[in-house]
Amino acid sequence: MSNFKMKVLHIVPWLLVLCSMFFKGSCGSEKVNIGAIFTLGTLTGKVSKIAMNAAVDDINSDPKVLGGRTLSLQIHDSNYNGFLSIMGALQFMETDTVAIIGPQTSLMAHVLSHLANELHIPLLSFSALDPTLSPIQYPYFFQTAPSDLFQMAAVAEIVNYFRWTQVTAIFTDDEQSRNGITALGDKLAEKRGKISYKAVLPPDIRGNLSVVKQELEKVKNKESRVLVVHTLNTFGPIILEAAEQLGMIGEGYVWIATSWLPANLDSTPSPKLYKNSQGVITLRPHTPDSQKKKAFISRWNNLSKGSTGLNVYGLYAYDTVWLIARAIDAFLRQGNNISFSNDPALTAVGGGDMNLSALSIFDGGKDLLNFILGSNMTGLTGPIWYNPDRALANPSYDVINIVGRQTRQIGYWANYSGLSVIAPETLRERPQNRSGASQKLRSVVWPGGTKNQPRGWVFPRDGRKLRVGVPLRVSFPDFVYVDNQTHAPRGYCIDVFEAAIKLLPYAVPHEFIFFGDGHRNPSYSDLVSRITTGEFDAAVGDIAIVTNRTRIADFTQPYADSGLVVVAPVKKLSSSDWAFLRPFTPLMWVVTAVFFLVVGAVIWILEHRLNDEFRGPPSKQIMTILWFSFSTLFFAHRENTVSTLGRVVLVIWLFVVLIIQSSYTASLTSFLTVQQLTSSIKGIDSLITSSAPIGFQVGSYAENYLREELNIPRSRLKPLNSPQEYADALKAGRVAAVVDEQPYVDLFLSNYCQFAVAGQEFTKSGWGFAFKRDSPLALDMSTAILQLSENGSLQNITERNLKQKHACPSNVVNDSEQLRLENFVGLFLICGVACILALIIYFSIMLYQFHQHHLPQHTEPSSQSSSRSARIKTFLSFADKKEDLSQRKLKRKRISASMPTHGSEPVEIESGGKSSKSENFRSYRDDNGNSNIWN
């Protein structure tokens, strides 16, 4: 009996294998169960149900997929109810479901992902595209369509392409819409844009059109006219209907809708929706054209029986089912079995009527998860595969403009290439280029039927005026002051602001609010900081544009130049008998005089042996050197130079004298006409190196600049509040100088001529109007200021307000009043080198001649040392001896004689019938009979 049992046990496994091969369905279940959770009453639910059933039919009719097994799809209708979504998921997990498509909303995706993590059931959704559905937190959740993170990146790039900086976000308060708008804010920040206002609608606005209109009324009063609508497919048309009734789908507005709009227009192209969306820019996930896609589109009418049109969600639904089927097929081909086991954690809970123990863990869930991650297929939507970060590869969108009854495609957006009019799949074959020049879209027809790009911003219509902070100045009222009669601000800065604001293409109601106590000039940095707190919307006045202020506010184009200068007390130079010496520094005079003597001595040395004018008694020669040296100053030297080296040195020296003379004349002229002032402070450098106190205007940025940039101790800085305090402090010596901005200094010096600007302006800045960060008013006002400058109005305002009543001389104390040696080092160096080279050449020739003609040819060794002094005396005598010019000319003639040519015969020349013993002369007669003599 035992043997029989052993045989039976051995045969049973083979019987089971045969049974599974030939009698499928009779030996056990061969179904593979998957589920889907959708609200079938919605547009997405309707389209998805048809597409998923079509995919299941295609899979089951293909024997190559699932090894002949049957894919079974169960669709649960959540009916807009989150609780029913949870119950549907629990039911699927009681029936050995290996994967679930859905849920439809991101809120339920967050909830059901926890259950999927516990039971190892993959969730795949093409409509829950919340960017916060992290694969780290929810490893069993997959998005089979591009996440809204990429869609918001596309919206931000469109906003940046048209150079808008602010948008108003309109969205329903559900998980997906709210988190999508958060992602939009992040993407706009990367482009230096922002969401200026968020219009939050209730999670379900069906039947609540009045609530939507009430919120849109607030949007209408805001400054931004770039409106981004991100919501579910069901609620988008309601928002556009309310906007159309409020007259907001018109000229001047910009509407950007996310993918909900083309999904509605593709499925239910109602005339009402087209009317309400004229000029809207929208995005649709890009699906490349293919034969497979065209074939499915041609089947759609038969599949849907005309109940609804096909949109992109239908394509993603079809591909999602195929993605699951291929992953299961790969799972089974690896020899894995579909099996489930009880969850000990759920079994231990027990109790009550909840049958939690019926929920089981999919044993192969982790393996199936990996097969989904490793998928690489091509579906209706194009290539499908996942990046390491679990995001679908190559996300891209069609950029669409609604015009009439058409969805007019104006370009594409792709994560790889940005905005383009070329299809993303074509651009991916080229090198990546995200430069600004490559970003391009076709022309847009905007709301109202205009092709002119809207400005995207208007002044708010909420009835509140622009609150403009104005400094209540105590000093220099020419720039800003209070009219005693109207108590309104007046002055140069106010006139510029009013003239600019009149040039804006829209009205800007505004009111001026004074800032300050009226006793001291207010802090301008404090005034600008009040913009960030909301106390002011703008600040107008003589406000310098400096780094610290630009970090907290936006400034317009400068309307006036302003930089820091040093004002110091000066005195007129009294007439002096020695005023002619002022152009040169003492060192310059000394060096110039030395060079006159040196050059004279060099010329004398070079001319002494040849030129009778440089010979004579010692006293005469000294006078000749002195006379020749200083007469060259006026080019009045009488002595002629006959040596080549002497002439070269003289020419160079005369050039140097010419430059020195011209410089002296120009400098002396300047001293005697313009430069009549002097001061111990020559500029900011001399002020820093001194330890003297420095005055500054209260409220000016000069104090911070002196302390923080120039590191001047606070103890040296003295605050001054008015021009009179400037003058008193400078006269009394309480401050050595005052550092202030150029426009203030110009007005101050027009009334106080005993002071002057020392040195040059040492900072470059300008005055501008301050506005809130990213305020479009700053840009528009800058344009208006440029127009004022171009048409001459700005200059007229300046002359009218800042015309100086008194004219002082040009009081400027320069750092370099006198010409220094450093200005002529190059000239003196050239002249010195020329003198040295000339002397070297001259003495070299002298030594050579002396060696050839005046040293004995043979000297006894014993007498060499004793004759050294004699040789020196002989050399000095030779150097002092006048050279015969006629003999030199004769030698030159002999040396220049040419060598004998071919056919010449040497002829011996005799003097007095005898051959010369001192010099051996030979003559050669050439072919023409001429004689050539050489030594």
Residue 414's closest CA among 164, 157, 186?
157
Least confident of 120-129, 335-344, 370-379: 335-344
Q: When comparing pLDDT for 834 and 157, which is higher?
A: 157
Residue 398's closest CA among 388, 416, 387, 411?
411
The pLDDT of 218-241, averaged and rounded, is: 93
Give the pLDDT band of residue 361 (cuts 50, 70, 90): confident
Q: What's the DSSP call for residue 707?
A: I
Give the pLDDT band of residue 144 (cuts 50, 70, 90): very high
Top mean pLDDT of 140-144, 456-460, 921-925 is at 140-144
Q: Determine whether 47 is exposed, middle or buried from the number of CB atoms within 10 Å of its CB (0-12, 13-18, 19+).
A: buried
| Cα separation, 312 vs 14, whole angstroms | 49
**Is a pLDDT exceeding 50 seen at residue 910?**
no
**Is a pLDDT exceeding 70 seen at residue 591?**
yes
Beta strands in 28-119 (DSSP E): 31-38, 70-77, 97-101
Q: What is the pLDDT of residue 810?
A: 52
Residue 141's closest CA among 126, 154, 153?
126
123-125 and 97-101 strand pairing: parallel
The pLDDT of 685-708, averaged and rounded, is: 88
The pLDDT of 286-315, averaged and rounded, is: 94
The pLDDT of 850-862, averaged and rounded, is: 56
Q: Cα dist. 186→152, 196, 485, 710, 911 in Å? A: 9, 13, 51, 39, 113
| Cα separation, 751 vs 716, whole angstroms | 26
Q: What is the pLDDT of residue 919?
A: 40
Q: What is the pLDDT of residue 639?
A: 64
Give the pLDDT band of residue 238 (cuts 50, 70, 90): very high
**Is a pLDDT exceeding 80 seen at residue 896?**
no
| Cα separation, 251 vs 737, whole angstroms | 59
Top mean pLDDT of 202-216, 747-761, 789-803, 831-845 is at 202-216
Which residue shows structure tokens 């007259």?
247
Q: Determine whether 348 is exposed, middle or buried from the number of CB atoms within 10 Å of its CB (0-12, 13-18, 19+).
A: exposed
**Is a pLDDT exceeding 90 seen at residue 327?**
yes
Q: Encoding tokens for residue 353?
A: 């009527």
The amino acid at residue 918 is: S
Top mean pLDDT of 3-12, 84-93, 128-137, 853-862 is at 128-137
Q: Encoding tokens for residue 930?
A: 């001429």
The pLDDT of 46-59, averaged and rounded, is: 95
φ and ψ of 284, to 5 deg: -135, 130
**Is a pLDDT exceeding 50 seen at residue 718?**
yes
For residues 744 and 476, the answer to whether their CB atoms sit within 8 Å is: yes
Q: What is the pLDDT of residue 381?
A: 94
Q: Which residues contact 228 (CB under 8 A, 6 or more apart)?
A: 155, 167, 168, 169, 170, 181, 184, 256, 257, 258
| Cα separation, 667 vs 683, whole angstroms | 20
Q: What is the pLDDT of residue 797?
A: 92
Q: What is the pLDDT of residue 777?
A: 87
| Cα separation, 212 vs 759, whole angstroms | 66
Q: What is the pLDDT of residue 291?
A: 94
Q: Which residues contact 568 (CB under 8 A, 6 or more apart)?
A: 679, 680, 681, 730, 736, 737, 738, 755, 756, 758, 813
891-920 b/e (C-beta count within 10 Å ≥ 16 → b): eeeeeeeeebeeebeeeeeeeeeeeeeeee
In the chain, the percentage of residues whose pLDDT exceeds 90 is: 44
The pLDDT of 430-453, averaged and rounded, is: 88
- For residue 430, the tally of other CB atoms under 10 A from its CB is 10
Q: When comparing pLDDT for 487 and 812, which is higher?
A: 487
**Which residue stretches of 221-363 are H helix?**
236-245, 260-267, 271-276, 291-304, 312-333, 344-349
HSE (CB half, 13 Å, CA atoms) of 791? 10
**Helix or strand or coil: residue 666?**
helix
Residue 415's closest CA among 392, 436, 437?
392
The pLDDT of 214-228, averaged and rounded, is: 93
Tens-digit pLDDT profile for residues 495-513: 999 999 999 877 788 999 9
Top mean pLDDT of 23-27, 434-438, 630-634, 710-714 is at 710-714
**Is a pLDDT exceeding 50 seen at residue 275?**
yes
Q: What is the pLDDT of residue 36?
A: 93
**Is a pLDDT exceeding 60 seen at residue 332?**
yes
For residues 233 and 104, the answer to whether their CB atoms sit within 8 Å is: no
Least confident of 188-197, 445-454, 578-587, 741-750: 578-587
The pLDDT of 438-463, averaged and rounded, is: 86
Least confident of 27-31, 378-382, 495-499, 531-535: 27-31
HSE (CB half, 13 Å, CA atoms) of 118? 17
The pLDDT of 355-384, averaged and rounded, is: 87
Top mean pLDDT of 424-428, 813-817, 898-902 is at 424-428
Tens-digit pLDDT profile for residues 551-566: 999 999 999 998 899 9
For residues 777 and 467, the answer to whether their CB atoms sit within 8 Å is: no
Q: What is the pLDDT of residue 282?
A: 97
Q: When comparing pLDDT for 597 and 890, which is higher?
A: 597
The pLDDT of 732-755, averaged and rounded, is: 89
For residues 311 and 87, the answer to whether their CB atoms sit within 8 Å is: no
pTM of the model: 0.66
Give the pLDDT band of residue 101 (cuts 50, 70, 90): very high
| Cα separation, 879 vs 898, whole angstroms | 31
Q: What is the mean pLDDT of the chain?
A: 82
For residues 126 and 320, the answer to whether their CB atoms sit within 8 Å is: yes
